[in-house]
Chains A and B, each alone.
Chain A
Amino acid sequence: MKCQFCDNPATVHLTDIINKKKREVHLCEACAKANDLIPEAQQELNVPALLQFLVGQTKGGKGKGESADLACPHCGMKYAQFRAQGRLGCPADYEIFRAALEPLLERIHRSVRHEGKTPRGFQAKRQELDLAELQEQLKAAIHDEKYEEAARLRDLIRSLRTVE
């Protein structure tokens, strides 16, 4: 098998299997080293370099320059710095760098949306927002004299309140 970057025989094979889908990268040792994917001695895998490699692959040609200079107003972190270090600077970075992060998350996790535990405080806040939204809809339904719809909304609001 030949290296994806040059014609040398590929000796480094990265295989990643997520949700039964297999992805393979085949490189010769020189190209793998050039991408910092394999350490010199018996060290740990270079995670930042791997991340950077994955990010680099995702981004393709376009828009490379614009996001690299993007900086977070909260922590001052630049996207280029994240690419070099593999660590984000603060929680706000997820929002600031969202456009560049989503393809990376898709690559790492095969998903961009959280499933699972949600803090109680956050659940309550979300439920409040949902209730406020329903109240608005109820008002609108009454205003438009859509009484069947209004009754349905009223029952829904009641049931949500009793759950609380």
Chain B
Amino acid sequence: MNLDRLLPKLGEWLRSTGPESDVVVSTRIRLARNLADHPFTSRATLHQKTEIEAKLRDCVTRLELENPLSYIEISHLEPLERQFLVERQLISRELANVMEGPRGAAFDERESVSLMINEEDQLRLQVLRSGLALESAWDEINHIDDLIEAKLTYAFHEQFGYLTACPTNVGTGMRASVMLHLPALGLTKQIEKAFKALQKINLVVRGLYGEGSRASGDFYQISNQVTLGKSEASALADIREVITEIMRYERLARSALVRENRKSLHDRVARAVGTLQSATMMTSEETMELLSSVRLGIDLKLLDEVPLPLVNELFLHSQPAHLQKLMGEPLDGEARNAARARYLRSRLRELGASTN
């Protein structure tokens, strides 16, 4: 498969068509699974990894799904191509750079489903959705899991549930994450207060790119921590409850901002657009911050010409691997920041974007 084919496209989950898209960017659910009677990936010999990969690849590529999957062998890819898939969230950083030996990923045209083989666990299933869509994401991943389970025997324990390489995932093996955009809570410095709602139950807050990443551009990922002793349905209900509360805080903060600080908010959005249209050097952090303001401006109708999915597209395309593919050459440091600024400038000028 030629990965360049994906370049002009936007995964369905990035199209801002899902429920509550003003605040919730996307929903992701993943399941960790392993085969019975086989060592976990980190303990497997090359021979065992090859055998496991072949077995799982055979199973996942024959699944009868509405949206067929194509399989990519990751160890054959150049680092740039791997990074490209990481940026599209089709594979994890772990699968791209940390794991060794035979491993791969199967994903569909929509980029909604991705099944990773020989990750930390032998099989990691992932479903992505636009907006807040925990139930529909669960239905789809559960269905795929059922289909695989009908063909293979998973490592499952009467008491401990689905067995995983790391004890933090054992039980359901399920991690559900919701990505939120909370600019108004950030601006009004209420973010800490809002996250207190999370303390009611054991949820984790992370930055945009998951574990270890910093929250930037007011994007936050919220996910469940506990996988043992709490059913999938009940874990999803906990997350939904907290997200509902945070969405309410964010919307209240947005309307208060418009009511009380309309002028300075307007100025902020206009400056963000202006900088994106004219800067000649741009880091990814700054891009995030500026696009975050643009996104807020669109939602508050301070900005007409920029459609919401375009903001997502610019987020994606200004990531290092995407940028280098778009420019058709390897770029680092200053050259990359200059290319990023050039790219953003031309895309925003195309639209003739201006604030109301």
Query: Which A residues form the contact surface with B (CB < 8 A)?
Result: 16-20, 42-45, 47, 51, 74-75, 77, 85-91, 94-95, 101, 104-105, 108-122, 126
Contact = CB atoms under 8 A, between A and B. Distances in A.
Q: Which residue of B38, B154, B163, B167 has the most chain A CB atoms within 10 A of its CB atom?
A: B167
Contacts of B234: 115-116
B156 interface: yes
B229 interface: yes
In this complex, the interface size class of chain B, counting residues with CB under 8 Å from chain A, is 35 or more
B166 A77 contact: no
21 contacts: A17-B201, A19-B202, A75-B43, A85-B42, A87-B42, A87-B43, A88-B167, A90-B38, A90-B43, A91-B37, A91-B38, A105-B160, A105-B170, A108-B168, A109-B230, A110-B202, A114-B172, A116-B234, A117-B232, A118-B161, A120-B149
Contacts of B226: 18, 108-111
Interface string B33-62: 010111110110000000000000000000
A75 B42 CA distance: 11
Nearest to A111: B229
A43 B211 CA distance: 10
B356 interface: no
Contacts of A109: 170-171, 226-230
B157 interface: yes
A139 B286 CA distance: 76
B149 to A, nearest CB: 5
Contacts of A116: 161, 171-172, 174, 230-234
Contact of B146 (A86, A114, A120, A122): A120
Contacts of A17: 199, 201-202
Contact of A88 (B165, B174, B201): B165
A87 B228 contact: no
Nearest to B235: A116
- Consensus secondary structure, chain B interface: loop
Given A117-B172, A119-B149, A89 B39 contact: yes
A91 B232 contact: no
B212 A43 contact: yes
Given A87-B40, A88-B40, A90-B39, A115 B167 contact: no
Nearest to B198: A17
Contact of A115 (B42, B163, B225, B230): B230
Contacts of B160: 94, 105, 112-114
B229 A110 contact: yes
A90 B229 CA distance: 21
Nearest to B214: A42
| Chain A interface main SS type | loop
- Closest 5 pairs (CB-CB, A-B): A111-B229, A114-B161, A44-B212, A116-B231, A91-B155
B2 interface: no
B142 interface: yes
A76 B150 CA distance: 30
A86 to B, nearest CB: 6
A112 B228 CA distance: 7
Contact of A87 (B145, B150, B158, B165): B165
B153 interface: yes
Nearest to A120: B149
B120 interface: yes
A91 B157 contact: yes
Nearest to A44: B212
Given A18-B226, A88-B40, A91-B37, 12 more contacts: A94-B163, A105-B160, A108-B228, A110-B202, A111-B228, A113-B228, A114-B161, A115-B229, A115-B234, A117-B145, A117-B172, A119-B149
B228 A120 contact: no
A44 B211 contact: yes
Contacts of A118: 156, 161
Interface string B100-125: 00000000000000000000100000
A121 B156 CA distance: 10
Contacts of A89: 39-40, 42-43
A114 B161 CA distance: 5
A43 to B, nearest CB: 7
Interface in B143-189: 145-146, 149-150, 153-163, 165-168, 170-172, 174
A47 B214 CA distance: 17
A17 B208 CA distance: 23
B340 to A, nearest CB: 21
A127 to B, nearest CB: 13
B200 interface: yes
Contact of A94 (B37, B170, B202): B170
A8 B76 CA distance: 52
A153 to B, nearest CB: 24
